[in-house]
Structure 1
Amino acid sequence: MNAPIWQKPDSVIDPQLMQFLAGEDVVLDRELFAFDIEASQVHARGLARIGLLSHGDADTLIAALGELRDDFNAGRYRLAAPFEDGHSAIEAWLTERLGDLGRRIHTGRSRNDQVLVAQRLYLRDRLQRLAHQVHALAALCLRRASDDASLPMPGYTHLQRAVVSSTAMWWAGYAETFYDSAALALRTRDWINANPLGTAAGYGVNLALDRDYTTAALGFDRLQVSPIAAQLSRGKYEWQALAALTTSLQDVRRAAWDLSLFGSTEFGFVRIEPQFTTGSSLMPNKRNPDVVELLRAAPAVALGAMNELAAISSLPSGYHRDQQAGKAPLLRAFAQGLQSLQVAEALLAAISWNAGAMRAAIDAGMYATDIAMELAQSGVPFREAYARAANPQLWQGRDDPEASLAARVSPGGAACPRLDVLRSRLAQLASAM
């Protein structure tokens, strides 16, 4: 490992301890590297704006940082073990090419605000991606609610047959819940969109940094004014971002559970395409819904990351090295979570319904609630109507699920799905992305 940027002439560096201190930071920082470079470019221009660099020197630094970004993106530069972290790698690269000018990039900042701003830009980007992906899931479900509008199916409570439902109602339910989660992702994106750059190690610096400029240049909505607040937000903002991710993945898990049941031989309601299944190494007859099952587990990684962050965030104010341990679970959760959402979209787009099996599973007792409603509408007190409708003799001859659905006229019910309202909400949400 190269000498750390904080090494002093009289300090002794133990390589084994340095490896422990750095951990996997330099590898993890590959996810943050482009954002770190972007913030460094803006920081260089900010130094020129207050006279600490000439604008020509700032141009040179910004161009060199752009070259580093391009080399990194093209695979010509690899962020690897010789460096303690990505921040050290950037400064070393600039110093190697520009000499003393490269050494000036760190003027007025600390690795504390450097990682804060890089991670903030990363979170903003990933929450934006999350919102787009979950919005796409909502739009898919809404389209299928229209396409599958005429297919009756059993509606369940307590995993017991309850009332007549429809595939359109199933799709509309997930369309709205995915909409809610996409909206939450956007609100969280806006909530965390605050600029910590310029807070240094948590107490400011003896320079009149143009923090309003860096806020605007990096696309932040507001300045994180207090340096202490910036440090206190570390872990807090990441936890909320993970909460938004977890909420979306919980929706996926519930849909995956439905498909696990509906796709089983015992139900037979839905066909899961072969590309979403695997085989058994022993039993030639098996076709296992492994994709569905892994989607059921998708929230676990994000929930685990939230627990890890909660465990290390019980700290007093100021920076503490414990907080480094929150980086790995955060990056891992977003990488796996966004992939799971993409797979879920492909899966849901491909499923098909077995109309005959669903109709066959609708039994006479599932019309009992309809009977109670009819009696109540005729003037019978509902509790008496309820008691009468519990008599199986009144169920006889009921075998028209379409009529049951047509009578479900409450807003959101099968006969009044209000899909136009959901379409309008999705359109408004798309305009905010």
Structure 2
Amino acid sequence: MMSDLLWQKAGTRTDERIMRFLAGDDVVLDREFFLQDIAASKAHVEGLAAIGVVTAEECAALLRELDTLAADFHGGGFVLDARYEDGHSAIEARLTERLGDAGRKVHTGRSRNDQILVATRLWLKQRLAELAACCREVAAVCLRRAAGEALPLPGYTHVQRAVVSSTAMWFAGFAEAFIDDAERARQTLAWIDANPLGTAAGYGVNLPLDRELTTRVLGFARMQVSPIYAQLSRGKFEIAALDALGSALLDLRRLAWDLSLFTTAEFGFVSLPAEYTTGSSIMPNKRNPDVVELMRASYSAVAAARAEIEQLLSLPSGYQRDLQFSKGALFHGFSRGLPALALLPDLLAQLAWNPERMRAAIEPSMYATDVAIEQAAAGVPFRDAYRRAAEAAADPARTPEASLAARVSPGAAADPRLDLLRERLAALG
């Protein structure tokens, strides 16, 4: 049975079935955001003290109890469960139980609307910082391996053998992809780094709240000024964060597809670390790339989360209860996506190429493009050179190494410009 509801008034009755429907899994999801909600409550208390709504003694007591609550929650001494409607009411109930009237003052000038906004915003800042760091780590591993080895590798278009490529080019391609992903995560973090605390239910309050103070205390870059926009940004900012995560997971999906193909017996280009594979439950001869396959699948959770939140936003301005469902989607998207990315640096550092199998897959026809461009460079119109190269017998003297050494266009095998990628990565911190 829930404890007393924050909004319940004398003479009103509640239906337990309706209350269960209204609460849904909110109290369980709020465990994920609870420490951020406590941090925001501390900032709010300091703001109330700054304008004289709570005394210095009450402020000190409230801050002390909020710290104790955070420690109890972290250590398992306090459990956010069905006794409470949500995490917000749990905080107020605990403070009231311990401090009486001082606890009853804590909700002055705020709403559960700006409580969840600020808790979610703080949570998203942490997750986006983790995303950026993970992408930087992936890029760093890729750059190290790109610089350390340049084994000939077939390059494919339409999953057909096309031209000679190399392991260095493969790693450099994903290095630049994840540098972009890290930059996008950082830009998204900067965009949402705005403090909504003090906007209440979306229209402000008749108190001179010190919103600049709470912005500084909570470490936000700026204050989100308009109370109405604070409500309008709910869902919009979550989608932006999921888009940043999705960008990295789309790159992970393509990388995982490559590894899924390259580890098959038909290709045999790559061996994965044993701990990244599992055995079959029925076929003793099998080792399956299950980790890579689940990495490939992880984007689906982010896409689903984004779609769910987007569908919630067919709403007028102001707060609507529909937005409660955005929390679950946001949490599930990040809880599926970030762990998948976190496994990638070690996997990339340990995977082993099979040079013999890769070289054996490079057939003479894959030099045709080299031949056509060589003739064009000698003055033959390219379309004529193209036809001649397609019709000419392959030169058995050509080698993958010579093909790669002649690829001098910026970014290609003979001029990879890894220094430029390292500079971009270093600039991201």
Q: Which bin holds the TM-score, normalised by the shorter protein?
A: over 0.9
1:267·1:357 contact (CA, 8 Å) conserved in 2?
yes
Query: 2:253 maps to which residue?
Result: 253
Shifted more, 273-282 versus 120-129: the winner is: 273-282
Rounded Cα–Cα distance in structure 1 between residues aligned with 2:158 and 2:112: 53
Q: Distance in 1 between matches of 2:6 and 2:423?
A: 54
Match of 2:49? 48
Tell me the SS of whatever aligns to 2:416. Answer: coil
Match runs of 1:110-259 below 5 Å = 110-149=111-150, 151-259=151-259
Measure, in 1, the Cα distance between the counterparts of 2:334 and 2:364.
Answer: 47
Q: In terms of mean alpha carbon deviation, does 9-18 or 230-239 score higher?
A: 9-18
8 Å CA contact retained: 1:365, 1:392:
no
Partner of 2:416: 417
Task: Within 5 Å, give how 1:275-354 maps onto structure 2.
Answer: 275-354=275-354
Residue 75 of structure 1 and its aligned partner are, at CA, apart by 1.5
Q: 1:257-279, CA deviations, whole angstroms, 9 ceiling, x for partnerless residues?
A: 00011110000000012211112
Residue in 1 that maps onto 2:427? 428
In 2, Cα distance between the equivalents of 1:297 and 1:83?
35
CA distance in 2, matches of 1:119, 1:378: 62
CA contact (8 A) 1:181 1:247 kept: yes
Q: Tell me the secondary structure at the aligned position of residue 399 of structure 1.
A: coil
| Counterpart-to-counterpart distance in 1, 2:398 and 2:94 | 76
Specify the SS of the correspondent of 2:61. helix
Three-state SS of the structure 2 residue aligned to 1:31 is helix
* Aligned-partner Cα distance in 2 for 1:341–1:229: 33
Q: Which runs of 4+ in 1 moved over 2 A?
A: none
- Which residue number in structure 2 is paired with residue 405 of structure 1? 404
What SS is found at the alignment partner of 2:279? coil
Tell me the distance in 1 between the aligned counterparts of 2:413 and 2:308.
43
TM-score, normalisation: structure 1: 0.97
Tell me by how many angstroms 1:56 deviates.
2.2
- Deviation string for 1:211-240 (max 9, x for gaps)? 111112111112111111110001000011
Q: Is residue 153–residue 167 contact of structure 1 (8 Å, CA) maintained in 2?
A: yes
- TM-fit CA distance, 1:345: 2.2
- Map of 1:11-26 to 2, 5 A cutoff? 11-26=12-27
Whole-Å separation in 1 of the counterparts to 2:273 and 2:65: 50
- What SS does the corresponding residue of 1:390 show, helix, strand or coil? helix
Distance 2:335 2:284 in 1: 34
User: Any idea what the Cα deviations from partners look like across 1:361-390, whole Å, max 9, x if unmatched?
Assistant: 101011111111111111111111111111
Q: Aligned AA for 2:243?
A: A
**8 Å contact 1:46–1:213 — kept in the other structure?**
yes
1:373 aligns with 373
Q: Does 1:82 align with 2:83?
A: yes
**Aligned partner letter, 2:324:** Q
SS in 1 for 2:197: coil
Task: Please give the alpha-carbon distance, in whole angstroms, between the structure 1 residues aligned to 2:361 and 2:78.
Answer: 60
Give me the CA root mean square deviation.
Answer: 0.9
CA distance in 1, matches of 2:25, 2:117: 18
Q: Aligned to 2:428, what secondary structure does the other structure show?
A: helix
Whole-Å separation in 2 of the counterparts to 1:23 and 1:308: 16
- Report the Cα offset of residue 399 of structure 1: 3.4
Please give the secondary structure, in 2, of the residue aligned with 1:128.
helix
Q: How many residues align?
A: 428
Aligned equivalents of 1:79 and 1:349: distance in 2? 40
What amino acid is the match of 1:265? Answer: A
Residue deviations 1:144-185, cap 9 Å, x none? 111222x10110001111111000000000000011011000
Query: Aligned equivalents of 2:348 and 2:291: distance in 1?
Result: 11
- SS of residue matched to 1:208: coil
Task: List runs of 5+ in structure 2 lacking aligned partners.
Answer: none
Q: Distance in 2 between the 1:126 and 1:56 partners?
A: 35
Partner of 2:67: 66
TM-score, normalising length: structure 2: 0.98
Aligned twin of 1:97: 98
Deviation per residue, 1:62-118 (Å, 9 max, x gap): 111011111111111111110000000000111111011011000000000011000
1:383 matched residue in structure 2: 383
Identity %: 59
User: Partner amino acid for 2:164?
Assistant: V
Write the letter of the residue equivalent to 1:206: N
